[in-house]
Structure 1
């Protein structure tokens, strides 16, 4: 029975660690993505709380009951992991979009700087040519 308790406590520890990380990210998110991040954190917290409640309910059960409970807890754990993967996929898409936007902005800035440098170079050439005879 200690095996099942240790397994379940380990999963709760992992859930708590993931939630802590997500809560920090949610606090730093922009307004439009903050609502989504807050909802994901709330869903993950609910999943963790259900897992923990099931663990407390079964804490006094015998070995046979624990075998069934472990199967139920594994389903909840898998649901939690699926929600985490969804969060990472969404965050990854957002990061990809931000990177693409940054690259586009940087490209536009580089183009503007090249054009300004070319104009400066042309103007310097004209000034040098006009003062060559002096």
Structure 2
């Protein structure tokens, strides 16, 4: 290879490498643009996740309050049921007492009638 051919080869390869370098520059710019788009997308997704997490936390707080209120209602119902059962027992005792008093009153009325009958004789 002559020196002239060598220089032509070096010039040719230099131009080829410059063209390749320009292409790599264009590809690098496209990658930079894509990277910026992905970063923007990532920020939007992260913001969306933060918003969703905020909503979920609010839902969990509301559910916790509802659970506490539910437990309070259940306890109140148990107390009411216990009072009703106690009242039923008391009412049954009173009804038995009233029935016993009626029976005794009937017996007393019968004795009074018997005594009045004797006095008339």
1:97 to 40, 43, 61: 40
1:85, 1:93 → 2: CA distance? 12
User: Please, what TM-score do these two structures have when normalized by structure 2?
Assistant: 0.57
* Unpaired runs of at least 5, structure 2: 79-121
Partner residue of 1:116? Answer: 59
Partner residue of 2:13? Answer: 70
RMSD across aligned positions (CA) = 1.7
Higher relative contact order (CA 8 A, sep 6+): 1
Deviation at 1:63, TM superposition (A): 2.8
**What SS does structure 1 have at the residue aligned with 2:75?**
coil
Q: Which structure: larger Rg? A: 2
1:81 to 24, 32, 42: 24
Higher helix share: 2
Pick which of 103-112 and 66-75 moved more. Answer: 66-75
**May I ask how many residue pairs the two structures share in their alignment?**
75
> Structure 1 residue runs of 4+, over 3 Å off?
none
- What is the CA deviation profile of residues 28-66 of structure 1, one whole-angstrom value per residue up to 9, with x for unaligned ones? xxxxxxxxxxxxxxxxxxxxxxxxxxxxxxxxxx33311
User: Please, what TM-score do these two structures have when normalized by structure 1?
Assistant: 0.52
* Unpaired runs of at least 5, structure 1: 2-61
2:66, 2:40 → 1: CA distance? 39
**What SS does structure 1 have at the residue aligned with 2:59?**
helix
